[in-house]
Structures are given as C-alpha cells and as structure tokens.
Amino acid sequence: MTVPKEMPEKWARAGAPPSWSRKKPSWGTEEERRARANDREYNEKFQYASNCIKTSKYNILTFLPVNLFEQFQEVANTYFLFLLILQLIPQISSLSWFTTIVPLVLVLTITAVKDATDDYFRHKSDNQVNNRQSQVLINGILQQEQWMNVCVGDIIKLENNQFVAADLLLLSSSEPHGLCYIETAELDGETNMKVRQAIPITSELGDISKLAKFDGEVICEPPNNKLDKFSGTLYWKENKFPLSNQNMLLRGCVLRNTEWCFGLVIFAGPDTKLMQNSGRTKFKRTSIDRLMNTLVLWIFGFLVCMGVILAIGNAIWEHEVGTRFQVYLPWDEAVDSAFFSGFLSFWSYIIILNTVVPISLYVSVEVIRLGHSYFINWDKKMFCMKKRTPAEARTTTLNEELGQVEYIFSDKTGTLTQNIMVFNKCSINGRSYGDVFDVLGHKAELGERPEPVDFSFNPLADKKFLFWDPTLLEAVKMGDPHTHEFFRLLSLCHTVMSEEKSEGELYYKAQSPDEGALVTAARNFGFVFRSRTPKTITVHEMGTAITYQLLAILDFNNIRKRMSVIVRNPEGKIRLYCKGADTILLDRLHHSTQELLNTTTDHLNEYAGEGLRTLVLAYKDLDEEYYEEWAGRRLQASLAQDSREDRLASVYEEVESDMMLLGATAIEDKLQQGVPETIALLTLANIKIWVLTGDKQETAVNIGYSCKMLTDDMTEVFIVTGHTVLEVREELRKAREKMMDSSRAVGNGFTYQEKLSSSRLTSVLEAVAGEYALVINGHSLAHALEADMELEFLETACACKAVICCRVTPLQKAQVVELVKKYKKAVTLAIGDGANDVSMIKTAHIGVGISGQEGIQAVLASDYSFSQFKFLQRLLLVHGRWSYLRMCKFLCYFFYKNFAFTMVHFWFGFFCGFSAQTVYDQYFITLYNIVYTSLPVLAMGVFDQDVPEQRSMEYPKLYEPGQLNLLFNKREFFICIAQGIYTSVLMFFIPYGVFAEATRDDGTQLADYQSFAVTVATSLVIVVSVQIGLDTGYWTAINHFFIWGSLAVYFAILFAMHSNGLFDMFPNQFRFVGNAQNTLAQPTVWLTIMLTTVVCIMPVVAFRFLRLNLKPDLSDTVRYTQLVRKKQKAQHRCMRRVGRTGSRRSGYAFSHQEGFGELIMSGKNMRLSSLALSTFTTRSSSSWIESLRRKKSDSASSPSGGADKPLKG
C-alpha cells in the first residue's frame, strides 16, 4: 500500500483506510468521502458539492425555452402546435391562424404563469436558506459566512436553537462529555429531543485555538439517503476512531438545550442526507386519465377517417363537377389535379375538425381537480380541533380515484389506534399484575374498580399515571427482589432523555410512546430515571440516588426487535438488561427458565388476547474478563469499513444469549374514536379492508374484533401460521376448500383441482356463502408472497371479508399492496401514520397519511392527510364519490358538446363541394370553447352533486357505481358521441331545410351564408346550454350566473361583431355589418331555433323520464325519498298553521296523499340505517349494480391469466 504525499507519515503507521486512490468528484460515482479539517485547499481537489442548494428549475434566461420545451412534451400541446403550423399554410388553411393560436397561447400562458409562480417561491426559499448566517472557523478566527459558502472540511460553531447548516461530525459541545441535544422534526417529523455525542478524543476541543490546530481526516461512506446510518473513521494523532450516526448532526436538525457546539462538515448541499431524501414521489395517474388517453387516440383516428372521407369526396367532386367551373372556381397555382386537391383538402379538414379534442379539455380537467382539492382542504368536518389539523389534499391528480376504491390497506398502531400508550399490566416472576378482583374473586370491570393506586409516597411520581392493582405497589414496598429488578430494568434499558425544569418536575422525551410509558411506570413505582450522560445513568431507587456506569447500548432496530444496555452498578457488578419482542427474546433465554417461561407465555397470550402490546424483559450477568474480551471484538466490528452493521449484529447476538427471564409488560393502545363505525360503513360500500401490522397475532386479532372487522357472526376465521412453504400452501388450500364446501350450489360435482384451474376461480370464491376472515403471520406471509404461491394467497384473501396480516415488515406491506394492484386491477388505498408505512403508501394508487404520534414521514409521502381514521369515510363516500361523479359528468358533456359543434362541418362538406368551408364564423370557432361554453361546464364539474353529503354517508351503496366504473367508460363515451352526432345532424339539416324555402318579412330570400351561420351557431349555444341545465343536479347561484351569463355574453359578442363600430375600425375583418341584427329579427329564424332545440332535447328528456320511472338507480331513489320527506315536512307545517282542534283522524286525512301507501310498501321512503342498506338493494333501484358486478366478475380473468382453463359444465 502506498501513502499519498499529502498524508502524514505517522498516519500510515496508525493504519490507513483500505483505498487511497483519488476519488471521483461528487457528480460522478463517489466510492467514499474524505474530508480533512481546516484544509480547504486539500478538500477542493475532490470537487465536492458546495453547500448552496437549488430546488428551483429556471432562471430569467432559461425560463421561456425550458418551460416551453417541457410543455410541448405533452402530446396535446404538440398536436395543437402541429395544427397551428398547418394553418399557416395558405393552400390548406380555411381558418385564420388565431382560431388555434389564441387557445394554445392561453393554455401555455396559464401553465407558464403557474410554473413561474411555483419556481419563484422555490427561488425565494432557496435564497432564504442559502443566505442564513453561520460561524465558520477560518484561519483560526470565527467568521460569519453565508450557508452557501460553507465547504466540506470547515469547522462550524452552532449555538442553541440554530439550524444545522450541513451534515456535521460533532467535535465538542458546552455539555459534559461532548453531549448535545437535537430536534429532528424536519428530517423525520419527530419533535422529541435526541442526544448526540462527540467521540472522547475530540470532546476536549472546546476553545478556538485547539480547534484551529485540529487536522484530523475523516474517511466515510459516500453520500446516501439513510437517515439512521453512518459509517466512518477519524484518523488523528496516529490513531483511528470509529464514527457512527450517534456522532453526526444532520442538516435540518435544530440544536436544543445546548449552549454551543462545534462540528466538522462532512456532507454539504445536495450531498446532505436531507437533500438526498428529497427525491420526487412517483407520479400517479387515475384510471380516468388512462382511459382519456385511449379515447383521445380513438378520436384522432375518427378525425383522420372523417378527413379521408371528405378528401375523397373533394377529389371526386373536383374531377366530376369542379372541372366544369374552372372559369369561376379555378384551382390554386400549386394544384394540378383533382387528386392533389383532395390531398390538400384532407389537411384542411384536419384543421377544421380538430375541435373534437379541444385543448381547453385538459385545462378544464386541472381546474376542476384543483377545486375538488380545495373542498377537501376547507372541509370543517375533517378538521381536528384537538390538534388544530385540517385535512390536506397534497395532490390534485387523484381526486376522482377516491370515488373508485375497492381495497383499503391500513396500519394498526396510530392509524386504527391512538398510539397513546398506557402501562396496563405486567408479569413478574410468574405472577400477573394489573387485574382487580372483587370480594367473590371475579375480575372487576373498569367502572366497578375502586380508587387507583396511591403513589403519594413518591414525590417524583407522575400524577397523570393510573394503575389499579395495589398488590404490585405492595410487592415493591416489601422489597421483592424480582419486582425491584423488573423496574430497575425499565429505568435503565431505554434511550429516553430527561429534562428537569424545576426541582422534582421531570419531563421525559421518548423516541416512541411505548418507551415513554414503560419509563413512566418505573418512575411511579419508585425507580425514577433522573438523568444521563454518555457514560452514566442516574436512577432514584426508592428515594436513593444510584449512578450506574453505562458501558454499552445495543440499540433497537427492525431486524433485532430488541434493545439492550450493559451497565456496571456501584458495587462493580456488570449486568446486561434486555427488552424486546417475545418472538425474538424467548428463543434467547437460558434453559433453566423453562418453567417460568411457560407461565409468562400464558400471561403474554392473555394480554395479547385483550389487545395489549407486549414486551419481554430479561437480564444476564457478565464477568469482567468476558466483558473486556467482548468489548474488544465490538470495537473491531465498529471499525470495520465493510459490512459494519452485520458484524456488529453478530457481536450483539453473541452476548444476548442465555439470558434470565424477568417478566413481561403489557401496554394498552386504545382505538381511535369512530373506527368501528367507519369500518362498518366502508364495508357496506363494498370496500374490503386489510390490516397490515407489525404487532403480534393475538393483539391484532383482538383489535380486529374491537373495530368490528371480525365478528362472532362470521362463518369462520382462518389463521395461517405455517413455517414452511408446504405448511402455508396446505393451510390456504384447506381454507379454500371450506369456503367452496359452503357453496355447493356454485360448484357441486367438481373436483377441487378443476376449480383451482378455473379462469373464474376468483369470482367463484368471492361468491361463496357466509362471511370469512383471514389472519396470517409475517413468516407465513413471506412464503405466501413467493411467486409460485402468491395467486393462491390472493384468491383466498380476496374471498374473505376481512384480512389481517401480523408481524409484517414495511417491505411486506408494499408487496401485499402491489400483489392486489397487479392482479385484481382494482383501485387501492393505503393509510398509515409511521415511517414503516411509507413504502405501502407510495405503492398504493392512493396514499393517505395520518398526522399522529409517530412524526410526519407518512404524511410527507402521502397524497392526502388528516389526523383521524374516521375522516376516511368522509374522504371516500363524500369527496371521492362527488369528485368521480363530477368528473364523469364533465367529460360526458364535454365530448357531447364538441362533437355537436364539430360534426356540423362534416355534414356541410357534402353541400359545399368538400371545399373545407366552415359553417361558423371564425370568431365563433375561436370563442366557443374558451368563452361561450367553458364556464357552465366548469361550474357543473366543480359544484354538482346528485345527493347531499348526509345521504352519501347514510347510503354507502351509492359508492358502488364508482367501483364498477359505470359513470364514464367506453360505453358511456360512445353514447355521448352518438348524442353529439345526433344533435349535429339536426343542427345542420333543420336550418338547411327551413332556409331552402324561407323568405324574409319583405319577401326576399332568407338563405345566405352568414344568416345560416348565425342561426346554426345560436341554435348550438342554446341547445348545449339547455342540455347542461338538464345535466346539472345541484343548482347554485354560480351555475345560474355562468349558464345564463354565457348566453348573454354570446349575444353581446355576436351583435358587437356585426356592429358599425367594429366595421369602422377593422373593415377587412368584420364585413357583415348588421347581419346578426337582421337575421335574429326574423320570426322564422327564432321558430327554427326553437324547433331545433326541442327536437334535440326532447329525446333526452323522454329517455331520462322513462329510465327514472322504469329502472331508477339508487341515487334516483334517494333523491325521491328526500323529496317525499320535504313534502311531508311542508304539509305538517301547513297543518300546524291551520290550527284545527278537531279529531286527530281528520288531521291524518288532511295530510294524507294518494299513492303513499304503495310507496311505503316499496320501502323507498324508509330512512334506512347504514346497516339495513345491504338488504335495501334487493329492488330494482340497485339490482343493476349487482348484475353488472356479477357480469364484471364473470368476465374478469383470474389473476393467473389466460393459462387457466374455464369451468366445465
């Protein structure tokens, strides 16, 4: 190994890092980071990133070209730019260029302004952060520097309550032993204080002169996004020292309760872990977006077909007829044949007919989605007064998908439960504490219990802590050694920070609510954790202060699922204390504890059955010689440059064995308010809820019963606990067999293997009689998610009403969601509150974050957030359903009105020699979509609703059309297109037929091109306005203003464009002076407009009337019921005002109305509870939903795809 020239010779003797090769700059692939203190010249050789951050995308020079380039990445914008270019070619353009450029520029401008505004605020934020001041040690002097000028290798001084400027190695602090306290809210959302500590060799570098001479070099991992891990080594004074995450202060943290500290910059700017974690969330698209992309391609194909038909017509007409009129209608100079004339005509018609897909469609969709998002943000019924937290739509692209959810994947702790932990019970040396018994020996319920335990003997007790079993306190006071050791462990084995604001007033800052509850319990029972330093823990044991030497902390992680501390008591005895999950810890106990283990296991099962969270406690005595030898191996593992985590885990595993069992704790995590009601309501909406939790099986099952996911009325609850692939497969097979046996009517006479190979297996299983639930453990789930078994697991789970997965890892949560997304083709929603839910939230179609006790990482990764699970019912059943309904009605109407508008040109082509002449005035073509018809359809898309919000919650079956995608699909699209084409036919041919023979009042011929254009355009605007009036289900003042206001604006602009004033100013543009006034003054024209309107609208009215009476859907029935109720209330009010004093019978006869008895018998007027709604759908009001659901299930392939065989009959 060679030593570089810059490296002091003494460092080579101390042991150099494994690779001294020159590192690539930070913009390349960096293998390791090297930073030398107080040596900018040396560190600049590596070209590390500066501490200037840039989250903005543009500057003044690049904004226009870059933004336009980004916008033209959109296919629609490129398409309209192509059309604009075509319109600039005189030979093929029969429209002025502004008919396309005005809408295109308007859309590009609106988008650019939005992007510029967003980027301005990003610039502002960047400047604010980059210009913060920091004290940097330069040439032995502390100087004020802006954050952007801080470099790797600089030494920075931080003061209390200051933000950390970069990722720093903590060198020293004002606190003893180089300790400092930080708050990491900007990193992980947790507001609890955390402790960081300088390594002993640098903790004495407290004054400037010593720090100025510090020339240590850090060799560490390259920049990465792992917030909880850091691996590095400090080389200084011929020695090397291991560095871990406990020695690091990350950018975004805030220094708390520490007067000052010094740190060495390791990562700066974009290399910091905060910036490495600021990657963009995966872009999610809705099913309607994907369908629209397909439909737009179909429309474009239809447009091309129309262009080809008209082009062929032009070629034939020019060949057969046009050649006879060359004197009057000569070809353009470039046209030399009828074929070439048809070719040019094709492009002309592509330009004219392009309005079947107007650019305003995309803008309108985004405006509507933005409005729906604001409704969610402004909903006071989703505002949590306790936390002052509103609901927040963190995206605007998924609102309508909220109305189509079929599967909900929920975390348990903090999502279904409150994540506020209470020490409830414990087991110590085989005896269970926490239950209270009456004089007859029966367990007392909470309301029957006596006063809670009196902790007045302990002046440091937390007055909020309640415990009901006095025998535990008696055992403590009697000096029971096992009980004392139990609480001693709880007071020592933790990472809680203690803050004492005044004498005796202790405040604990815990990283998890569980840990805080356990330390508080120990405090009240006389073992008070008082303070800690990096090397000591001080505990007041029954009033006596005892300081333990802290030798090691074996920290908790998701793989170990336990934590340990090694301490030396004042007598010099070394002991390891450990607490952790029972599944992990019980396998690491000494064999001599078997009898105690059996008793404690019984207690654990009892606690878990009550829905309590359990931990097992154990200890182990270590002799001095063994500890010294083990500590040496631990040091070697911590210094390893590669696989450091694995090596440390192996060393920890060795010492955490043959431990002695002390007992177990049981903590209560109560259900959130409204959880059972929410789950019941969502289940009635045909939404399946799966709970994915890290808790043990018994606890999760008990919570399942508490929140009514599991009920005693269920046919069977299947529990899968197999440890091998074969065991899991067999358990799943038996579950399916039991479900199939209960539904012989579906598959009587078939062998099981025939059913398994059926392409309709999923629908067969989902149609089984009875209600089932599936509970599966994490180790079984690992096998069930393997490629050869995932389908069997999915088919079994989807046939169950409820699914609970226990002991699952964050990765398994995401895998389960991905499995359902992949094979069921259903909209999925994941909801959680912790960092372990982030992967699940990002994987699902819709991610919802609960802003709870575990920080805000889940919220930051989510699409929607609120503070309580119960708000989910309102998000889906009200906002989601309305958003889906509004978007579907908007799209149906939009395609209708544009086909009605555009297809008139197609029919006109057959009467104008296929010359690409337009029917309408070019200004009307320009303004139709952006002025005359834009606002009414926007108002409907933003405000419309079929039933009020109370009815949406009262009748959850109303949610099902969204799940089945009934309101906008290919069939509905073709119906809208057919209606638009029908309207266009009448719109053209009725005025055409009338004008052929009509005359004016003075007897002159009525027919002329401009009069015809005005008549058709006026008919169109009136017809589409009446149509949107029919489509609007909920009228507001805004709807009235926009609809009637748009009509008024149309007439105002029409008369203005045919006025003398505009002709005087622009004589070449506005030649037809007085045409609109003269045309609309003719009674024949108004009769034509009225006839066209009636003939266009009446079939729609008739069809809807017949459907409402013969085959109403559930929303029609609910609206009718609501009208009847209003009528009843009005009649009762009238009856009270009459004030009759006669018999009650006459009063009844007065309020009675004909046909009401039949209504009662039909059940349509009954105010049904949510629970009764499952039987409400037996009548025609929703039978169509059920039949379509069965049809959908029958036609859907099983997840296994086309390889499966159909059921044999």
- Pairwise CA distance, residues 9 & 13, whole Å: 7
> Among residues 740, 697, 745, which one has the least CA distance to residue 716?
740
**Whole-number Å distance between alpha carbons of 320 and 29:** 71
Using DSSP, state whether 233 is helix, strand or coil. strand
* Terminal Cα distance for the chain, rounded: 77
What is the spatial distance between Cα 669 and Cα 676, in angstroms, rounded to a whole number?
15
The catalytically annotated residue of 411, 469, 837, 946 is 411
DSSP 389: B
Q: How far apart are CA 1187 and CA 1181, in angstroms?
A: 12
Whole-angstrom distance, CA of residue 113 vs CA of residue 119: 10
Cβ(345)–Cβ(914) under 8 Å?
yes
The two structure tokens encoding residue 361: 């469609």
Contacts of 1141 (CB under 8 A, 6+ apart): none
Produce one character per residue of 672-705: b if its CB has 16 or more CB atoms within 10 Å, e if not.
beebbebbbbbbbbbbbbbbbbbbbbbbbbbbbe
Angle at 197 between CA 194 and CA 199, to 5 degrees: 160
454 classed as catalytic = no
| Tokens standing for residue 427 | 């087991």
Beta-carbon contacts of 624 under 8 Å, excluding residues fewer than 6 positions away, are 574
Q: How far apart are CA 346 and CA 312, in angstroms?
A: 8
User: What's the CA gap between 533 and 1017, in Å, rounded?
Assistant: 83
Question: Quick one: tokens of 955?
Answer: 């009748």
Quickly list DSSP for 435-496.
Answer: --B-TTSPBPPGGG--PPP--TT-TT--TT-----HHHHHHHHTT-HHHHHHHHHHHHSS--
> What is the arrangement of strands in the sheet containing 141-146, beginning at the earlier edge strand?
141-146, 133-138, 155-159, 260-267, 167-173, 248-249
Q: Are 267 and 33 in contact (CB under 8 A)?
A: yes
Give the 3-state DSSP-derived string for 855-889, with helices as H, strands as E and coil as C: CCHHHHCCCEEECCCCHHHHHHHHHHHHHHHHHHH
Residues with Cβ within 8 Å of residue 82, at least 6 apart in sequence: none
User: Positive or negative, the Cα torsion across 579, 584, 590, 596?
Assistant: positive
Residue of 1036, 838, 892, 1133 whose CA lies nearest to 295: 892
1122: left (phi over 0), alpha (psi -120 to 50) or beta: alpha
Q: How far apart are CA 1173 and CA 1168, in angstroms?
A: 6
> Is residue 89 within 8 Å of 350, Cβ to Cβ?
no
For 51, the 3-state DSSP assignment is coil
Number of C-beta neighbours around residue 554 at 10 A: 22
> What is the C-alpha to C-alpha distance for residues 652 and 630, in angstroms, rounded to an integer?
9
Burial class of residue 1136 in the structure, from the number of CB atoms within 10 Å of its CB (0-12 exposed, 13-18 middle, 19+ buried): exposed
DSSP 8-state symbol, 659? B
Q: What is the DSSP letter of 164?
A: P
* Cα atoms in the Cβ-side hemisphere of radius 13 Å centred on 80: 26
Other beta carbons within 10 angstroms of residue 798's beta carbon come to 22
CA 528 to CA 496: how far, in whole Å? Answer: 12
Indicate which residues carry an active-site annotation: 411
